[in-house]
């Protein structure tokens, strides 16, 4: 195939990646389902929240496994299997609500959908950094922007669906949509030919480690830098996921202060709308920070995000205005998404693209760990959870300031 055809092909793959990530990102709207499930079945708040913790933990672990599988079996295979699992898990969530079974919800939406989501999530990232050595930050930002924006559609559409047809039918409909869209988009995925480069691009222009000098996973994990990147991702994600897990109830509390007589259904819709608005910035932040990282460097982006988030998490408990609360939440979610968007390029710059599927895939265990720590902190430490999140970000800032790219020891 000619270089011109391959140039066009890589953009089709990028579009397919965005479609998949839009579907996957709907999991971030989980908070719009928590209150209806609690009201319908009498499940406790923390017990219901465990679904989200299992989900995110499964995503992180499956992304690690999926990254290794992408390097061995290819992206089309992994994305197809992942899409089927994610769709089936969402269908099981509907069955769990219909049966009133919290255990089935854990197994279906928590574990099965989480495994499928993680396998699908890592595939576009590992594929696109190989197709776009000239635009690593931008293209991974575009792809994972879809993941952040996916919750916008769920946050805007799902509350009305739940009110009109119930939780179970809402999950059934979305499950079918996911099966169709992800399966179709996955068929576009494949790796570029060995040695292929975009027209007019030379290896000397690569930022960081080139393909020829790429670290193996075994080499990368022995460096302190790999663990520092893991820690930065874990700390940023823990704070963000904690906020996401409680965003709709927190938003409703703020709205209730100025509208004490608002009906519960109206409050739920208003909370869902704020989830939707912040989801837009979760998506846009991924594109903005990834694009910015191409210009000023990945390290500088993380330093800026950590510093600004620290002050805003400390300020958030004192906010009584719905508009101010929404604006702050939008920025915090933009930084949360920005960490996901910038980290693949950060890892690729540090260790090269050759084995990035496994290197970054295993790094996403930080996401899985954060999926347990963040929501648990916010569920159990309601009064001080935002201050704890700020403390986690201080640790992340220290790691970011200390980071220096690894240098191979002379033989």
3-state helix, strand, coil in the chain (%, to 5): 85, 0, 15
What is the pLDDT, as a whole number, of residue 411?
46
Distance between CA atoms of residues 78 and 67, nearest Å: 9
The pLDDT of residue 399 is above 90: yes
Q: What is the pLDDT of residues 181-206, one digit of tens each?
A: 999 999 999 888 877 777 777 665 55
Helix (H, G, I), strand (E, B) or coil at 261: coil
Contact between 355 and 283 (Cβ < 8 Å): no
What is the CATH number that goes with domain 3-194+204-402?
1.20.1250.20
Q: What is the pLDDT of residues 221-262, one digit of tens each?
A: 999 999 999 999 999 999 998 998 888 888 888 888 878 878
What is the pLDDT, as a whole number, of residue 328?
94
For the chain, the domains span 3-194+204-402
Short-list 389, 269, 375, 267, CA closest to 328:
389
What is the pLDDT, as a whole number, of residue 202?
67
Start-to-end CA distance of the chain, whole Å, equals: 40
Q: What is the pLDDT of residues 344-367, one digit of tens each?
A: 889 988 998 778 888 988 898 898
- For 271, the token pair is 């909370």
State the average pLDDT for the chain.
Answer: 87
**Whole-prediction pTM:** 0.75
What separation in angstroms does the CA of 316 have from each of 30, 148, 289, 309, 367? 22, 21, 22, 10, 24
Q: What is the pLDDT of residues 90-143, one digit of tens each?
A: 999 999 999 999 999 999 999 999 999 999 988 888 888 788 877 777 777 777
Contact between 249 and 298 (Cβ < 8 Å): no
The pLDDT of residue 39 is above 70: yes
Query: In 209-321, where does DSSP find H-type helix?
Result: 217-221, 224-245, 247-258, 264-296, 298-315
CA angle 129, 131, 137 (to 5 degrees): 40
Distance between CA atoms of residues 377 and 388, nearest Å: 8
- For 374, the token pair is 């963040």
The pLDDT of residue 53 is above 70: yes
Helix (H, G, I), strand (E, B) or coil at 352: coil
The pLDDT of residue 48 is above 50: yes
């Amino acid at each position: 195939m000619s270089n011109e055809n391959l140039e066009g092909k890589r953009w089709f793959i990028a579009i397919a990646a965005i479609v998949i990530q839009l579907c996957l990102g709907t999991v971030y709207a989980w908070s719009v389902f928590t209150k209806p499930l609690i009201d319908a079945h009498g499940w406790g708040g923390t017990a219901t929240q465990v679904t989200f913790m299992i989900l995110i933990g499964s995503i992180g672990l499956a992304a690690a496994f999926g990254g290794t599988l992408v390097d061995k079996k290819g992206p089309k295979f992994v994305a197809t299997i992942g899409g089927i699992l994610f769709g089936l898990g969402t269908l099981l969530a509907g069955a769990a609500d219909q049966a009133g079974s919290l255990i089935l919800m854990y197994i279906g939406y928590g574990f099965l959908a989480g495994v499928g989501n993680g396998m699908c999530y890592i595939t576009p990232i590992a594929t696109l950094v190989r197709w776009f050595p000239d635009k690593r930050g931008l293209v991974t930002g575009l792809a994972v922007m879809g993941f952040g924006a996916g919750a916008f559609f769920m946050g805007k559409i799902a509350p009305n669906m739940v009110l009109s047809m119930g939780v179970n039918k809402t999950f059934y409909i979305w499950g079918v949509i996911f099966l169709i869209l992800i399966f179709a988009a996955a068929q576009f995925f494949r790796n570029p030919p060995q040695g292929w480069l975009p027209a007019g691009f030379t290896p000397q222009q690569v930022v960081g480690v080139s393909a020829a000098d790429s670290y193996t996973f075994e080499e990368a994990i022995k460096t302190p830098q790999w663990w520092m990147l893991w820690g930065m991702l874990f700390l940023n994600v823990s704070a963000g996921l904690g906020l996401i897990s409680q965003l709709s109830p927190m938003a409703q509390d703020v709205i209730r202060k100025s509208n004490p007589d608002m009906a519960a259904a109206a409050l739920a819709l208003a909370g869902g709308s704020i989830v939707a608005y912040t989801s837009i910035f979760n998506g846009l932040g991924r594109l903005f920070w990834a694009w910015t990282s191409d210009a000023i460097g990945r390290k500088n982006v993380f330093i800026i995000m950590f510093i600004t988030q620290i002050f805003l998490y400390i300020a958030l408990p004192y906010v009584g205005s719905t508009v101010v609360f929404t604006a702050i939440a939008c920025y915090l979610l933009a930084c949360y998404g920005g960490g996901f968007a910038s980290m693949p390029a950060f890892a690729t710059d540090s260790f090269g693209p050759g084995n990035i599927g496994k290197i970054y895939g295993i790094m996403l265990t930080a996401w899985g760990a954060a999926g347990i720590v963040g929501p648990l902190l916010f569920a159990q430490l309601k009064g001080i959870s935002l201050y704890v999140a700020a403390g986690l970000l201080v640790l992340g800032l220290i790691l970011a300031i200390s980071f220096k790219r690894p240098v191979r020891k002379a033989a």
